[in-house]
Amino acid sequence: MPANLFDYLPIELAELILMKMPITDAFKTSTVSKKWLQAWTSMPKLVFSDSYWLIGIRGRKTSFVEFVDGVLSSHNGPILDFQLTTDVNCHKTLNRWLDVVLTNRITELHLALWRTYDFNVSSRLFSCHQLVQLKLANCTLTLPQNFKGFHKLRSLHLNEVHISSDELKCLLSCCTQLQELALIYLRECAHIDLSNTEVQKLDIRGEYEILNLANQHLINASIHLMSDWRYHELGTILYPHYNISHLELSGDLKVNPTYLRYMVKLEKVIFNFLTHPYESISEIVSNCPRLKKLMVKGLTDISHDLRITSGTLESLEIDCGYSHMSIACPQLIDASIYITPVYHRWNFLQQCPYNINPYDELDLKILEELQKEVELPVTLKHLENLSLDVRFGNVLSEYIVFCFMKVAPALTVLEMKQKFECVAWVAYRYSWQRRVAWSGHRGAGTASWGGIGACCAASAGVSEPTAWLALTTAHLGASEGGGSVGATEGLCAPQPCVWGAAGSATCGGQHFCWALTHLGASGLAAEARVGGSGGAGQPSALGATGVFAARGQQATGWRTPLTWGHPEAAALACCGRTECCALPWQRLGGNRHAASAGGQHCWLAATATQGHAGVLGSVLRQQGSAAPRLQRGGRKLEACTTARRRCFRPIQPCPLPQSRTRRQPRSSRRPLGSSRSPEGRPGVAFRLSFRQRHNPDQPHRYGYQICRSGSGPWAPRSFA
Amino acid sequence: MVGVKKKMVTLVSSDGVEFVVEKRVAEQSLFIKNALNEGGVEEKVMIPIPKVTSDTLSSVLEYCEKHASATEFQENEIEEWDKEYIEKADLDLLYYLLQASYSMSIMGLMELGAKKVASLIRGKSPQEIRELFNIKNDFTPEQEEEIRREMQWNYE
């Protein structure tokens, strides 16, 4: 076996390897050996971008322009794929490069210019007949008189390209193979007609006067129209061909239900930022016999009803306001629901207009009546993944969460998240009222991660280290790539408990992890450690690592992790003291491997209400080592076999926070479970806790309890 | 499986070891697919795989098997599997996998291997790359000096 294997690498493979890295790195290999030099100079794909050019600028002797010039001049193979993103605005330079690149071999060209306004793409472009993909941004296209079309072009993206209506029409009509088309803010184009094309996938954005987007091939359309005065009617711009199966609508667009009746092939619909299509949504849903996925986003009008009744719908995402929502979709598998925080309606208890006096016993009848804001008439028996935007600290919205539980017996993954403003608000409220400063109010502003926010709120609210347990967020299951919960030990035990939580965020390629935080937190006794890290090295995953040191000495503090996906992240400490100390960044054992070792499924949620105690609902499902895989609805999910089942005991009343001066020395504090009456202050503490029923036929069926505590004796109430 | 007789193919590695695999698994390789199509009759086909040793071939077939049944898995599950698969290959195996995927035309594996090598190369200086892969510097000092001069920014 030869020792220097890589000397024998075929040149094509070397080229392939070089194409897998940024061009600056690929370039460095050119001096490794003759083979690599050869591979470098014949590499068929060149991707230049000056957005990363500035990175590592220290000591760099060449400018971006010199670099591109150098590469192009030393290149001696055909360039098949050329991609350039630059803010170089010298026309002469750009033309010099394009002269080299625009040959009749090139198949793919991406040209994104950001600082030129009138760069006219060389007419040589129109003789590149091998082009399969063409993406242009921010330049001018002028078609030559005798242009015969790109006969192999399948994908065309024009982003803020200056092109007239007539020229566009000509371009589209003579590119007969075109399948994918993106027309984004073509300002000089008023008229777009796709009726004679065979475009299957369309992305259109901007402001256009006349639109005719329908052709019988169109199956995937994303339409975002802006308009001051003209409202396009969806039905008419797509009329009469309705073969569309994927439709995304945003901007100003009228949707007339009568046309929708004909769109029978729709499978996936996304509404975004539309102003008034509530009736249409219900209409679409009930008129589309194949609809599988529906997303409704951005509607801010809260005075409407949202009724979703579908026998086929499998995935539903509601991220908008409504006054009344009804979900009757028996086939639902995934759901993400925004539980609207109508401020005047669902507020914290003391502001609640429905006469729920926080000092009275919580009347469940009242809650149930109020819950009609969200109606769940059918059992969601296939629902496995549920994500809820909920206002923690709001009993009514929490109650809805539990109503969802009630109708979803197969639920495997629950994710609780909280909207930015809510978290900030909660945080602010608690930090103000409870005088628990936490990581500064700047922290409140950035508390966009539901988990942390609610944790902080909870910790601030409970403000007592001996008996609280707070964790929002879930979704720690193995069904999510890379996310799983590590070891969970003795959550209710008065001993140190260690949590490992890791997960990758659901929003893979995005920059932020809005969706969730995988954060474990527990502080029942002396100490709890929280470890979490972003999974899979994705920059999007929020890695959170922290220490909950519930020792009564450190106050709540957390810091936003700035380095996404790194194991070091937020440190979180909690305690009842008023001052805050944000722990320094720490690198704990929160790496993914450590955390995913346990292979357990778990979710729990806890919130605080009233600042007196935590409304706390929590479920912990532990997965045995021999977890069978279940296949349901075409998806594989790790099912929970309850190998060991640990339910939370009904948690004893939570003591009220005490002022600092009254704090007892730690040693004399009572252990968890000993009821302590609130000293000198009236208050109520109630908790919701899940209890698994021991019913072998319905292993996932939960009942729950609401318990009230306060000055009176512990008074549990069971229902459902 | 009872009743359904799966079509099997025999692959022979360069060191003479025979591997009997399902046809659909073997067809992950375009080279084999073409060979089968040309052969016409697929019963009891023996396909020699030149230049691929039995060790490498068994690893390649592991990949093919997983990807032949890729539709049963979720997308990210396959990705995870790929990642682990390529992670556990050492440099030698990585090289042989690349070489084999190239000669057997298994595009996915080729991409995967190339990506892995690229991730090893990224951020390293030419000398470090040479050391890592044991590549001989076959430039004469004059040539190297010339390249150095031409491509100054390489040695910033």
Nearest to B151 among A18, A31, A59 (CB): A31
**Alpha-carbon span B153 to A62, nearest angstrom:** 6
Residue A496 pLDDT: 22
- Reported confidence tier of residue A504, pLDDT bands at 50, 70, 90: very low
Residue B151 in domain: no
Amino acid identity of residue A529, one-letter, is: R
Count of structural domains, chain A:
1
| Residue of chain A with shortest Cα separation from B105 | A13
**Alpha-carbon span A181 to A172, nearest angstrom:** 9
> Among all chains, which residue has been given the structure tokens 């949590």?
A499
Nearest in space to A506 (alpha carbons), one of A519, A489, A518, A488 = A518
Residue A25 pLDDT: 83
Beta-carbon contacts of A259 under 8 Å, excluding residues fewer than 6 positions away, are A233, A234, A235, A236, A238, A239
- Reported confidence tier of residue A1, pLDDT bands at 50, 70, 90: very low
CB contact under 8 A, A17 and B138: no
Kindly report, residue by residue over A48-86, the tens digit of the pLDDT: 988 766 654 555 556 788 888 888 888 888 999 999 998
Amino acid identity of residue A16, one-letter, is: L
Give the residue-averaged pLDDT of A244-269.
82
The whole-angstrom distance between A115's CA and the closest CA on chain B is 26
Pair A29, B121: CB distance under 8 Å? yes
CB atoms within 10 A of CB A54: 9
Residue A410 pLDDT: 77
Residue B9 in domain: no
Pair A271, A246: CB distance under 8 Å? no
Nearest in space to A181 (alpha carbons), one of A209, A145, A217 = A217
Does the structure show a pLDDT above 90 at A132? yes
Does the structure show a pLDDT above 60 at A450? no
Looking at per-residue pLDDT, the higher value among B139 and A7 belongs to: B139
Looking at per-residue pLDDT, the higher value among A391 and A491 belongs to: A391
Residue A44 pLDDT: 92
Pair A122, A99: CB distance under 8 Å? yes
Residue A562 pLDDT: 24
Kindly report, residue by residue over A257-275, the tens digit of the pLDDT: 777 778 888 899 888 866 6
**Alpha-carbon span A129 to B1, nearest angstrom:** 51
Compute the count of residue pairs across chains A and B with CB atoms less than 8 Å apart.
117
Pair A194, A206: CB distance under 8 Å? no
ipTM of the complex: 0.90
Q: Full-prediction pTM beyond 0.80?
A: no
Nearest in space to B37 (alpha carbons), one of B4, B16, B108, B29 = B29
CB contact under 8 A, A17 and B139: no
Nearest in space to A532 (alpha carbons), one of A544, A515, A517 = A544
Cα angle B63, B68, B70; round to 5: 95
Kindly report, residue by residue over A321-330, the tens digit of the pLDDT: 777 788 899 9
Phi, psi angles (nearest 5°) of residue A496: -60, 135
Q: Can you read off the two tokens belonging to residue A239? A: 């009329």
DSSP letter for each residue of A295-324: EEE-----SSEEEEE-SS--EEEEES--SE
| Maximum C-alpha span of chain A | 92
CB atoms within 10 A of CB B126: 21
Does the structure show a pLDDT above 60 at A635? no
The whole-angstrom distance between A421's CA and the closest CA on chain B is 32
> Among all chains, which residue has been given the structure tokens 């208050």?
A683
The whole-angstrom distance between A110's CA and the closest CA on chain B is 22
**Alpha-carbon span A209 to A230, nearest angstrom:** 8
Does the structure show a pLDDT above 50 at A498? no
Pair A611, A350: CB distance under 8 Å? no
Count of structural domains, chain B:
1
Give the residue-averaged pLDDT of A223-235.
77
Kindly list the residues from chain B whose CB atom is less than 8 angstroms away from the CB atom of residue A482: 80
Kindly report, residue by residue over A400-421, the tens digit of the pLDDT: 766 777 787 777 766 666 544 4
Residue A76 pLDDT: 87
Kindly report, residue by residue over B43-94, the tens digit of the pLDDT: 557 888 888 899 999 999 999 988 888 777 777 788 889 999 999 888 889 9
Give the residue-averaged pLDDT of A263-288.
78
DSSP letter for each residue of B21-88: EEHHHHTTSHHHHHHHHHH---TT-EEE-TT--HHHHHHHHHHHHHHHTGGGS-HHHHHHHHHHHHHT
Query: Mean pLDDT, chain A, as a whole number?
Result: 58
Q: Strand locations in A87-228, DSSP E? A: 108-113, 133-137, 155-159, 180-184, 191-193, 201-206, 210-212, 220-225
Residue A714 pLDDT: 31
Looking at per-residue pLDDT, the higher value among A203 and A285 belongs to: A203
**Alpha-carbon span A262 to A239, nearest angstrom:** 9
Nearest in space to A702 (alpha carbons), one of A607, A619, A589, A610 = A619
Phi, psi angles (nearest 5°) of residue A264: -80, -10
Residue B139 pLDDT: 85
Residue A693 in domain: yes
Phi, psi angles (nearest 5°) of residue A468: -145, 155
Nearest to A33 among B99, B138, B151 (CB): B138
CB contact under 8 A, A636 and B74: yes
CB contact under 8 A, B136 and A25: no
Strand bridging mode B8-12 / A715-719: unpaired
Residue B80 in domain: yes
Looking at per-residue pLDDT, the higher value among A643 and A175 belongs to: A175
Does the structure show a pLDDT above 50 at A222? yes
Nearest in space to A321 (alpha carbons), one of A348, A339, A308 = A339
Give the residue-averaged pLDDT of A325-337.
89
Cα angle A353, A680, A607; round to 5: 50
Q: Can you read off the two tokens belonging to residue A62? A: 């060449």
- Which stretch of DSSP H or E encloses residue A247? strand A246-251
Residue A54 pLDDT: 60
Residue A340 burial (C-beta neighbours within 10 Å; 0-12, 13-18, 19+): buried
Host domain of residue B58: 51-122
Host domain of residue A507: 349-664+678-719
Interface test with B, best of A1, A4, A5 (most B CBs within 10 A): A5
Interface test with B, best of A8, A21, A40 (most B CBs within 10 A): A21
Looking at per-residue pLDDT, the higher value among A144 and B42 belongs to: A144
The whole-angstrom distance between B41's CA and the closest CA on chain A is 33
Residue B130 pLDDT: 87
Residue B128 in domain: no
Kindly report, residue by residue over A582-621, the tens digit of the pLDDT: 222 222 222 222 222 222 222 222 222 222 222 222 222 2
Phi, psi angles (nearest 5°) of residue A242: -120, 75
A720: helix, strand or coil: coil
Residue B78 in domain: yes
Query: Mean pLDDT, chain B, as a whole number?
Result: 83
For chain B, how far is it from start to end, CA to CA, in angstroms? 63
Kindly report, residue by residue over A6-45, the tens digit of the pLDDT: 778 888 899 999 999 888 888 888 888 888 888 888 999 9
Interface test with A, best of B129, B146, B147 (most A CBs within 10 A): B129
CB contact under 8 A, B118 and A20: yes
Cα angle A277, A280, A286; round to 5: 150
- Reported confidence tier of residue A365, pLDDT bands at 50, 70, 90: low
- Reported confidence tier of residue A551, pLDDT bands at 50, 70, 90: very low
Nearest in space to A109 (alpha carbons), one of A72, A135, A147 = A135
The whole-angstrom distance between B77's CA and the closest CA on chain A is 7
Give the residue-averaged pLDDT of A522-532.
23
Residue B40 in domain: no
Please state the separation of Cα A126 from the chain's center in Å. 41
Phi, psi angles (nearest 5°) of residue A667: -65, -25
Strand bridging mode A180-184 / A268-272: unpaired
**Alpha-carbon span A700 to A411, nearest angstrom:** 8
Does the structure show a pLDDT above 90 at B113? yes
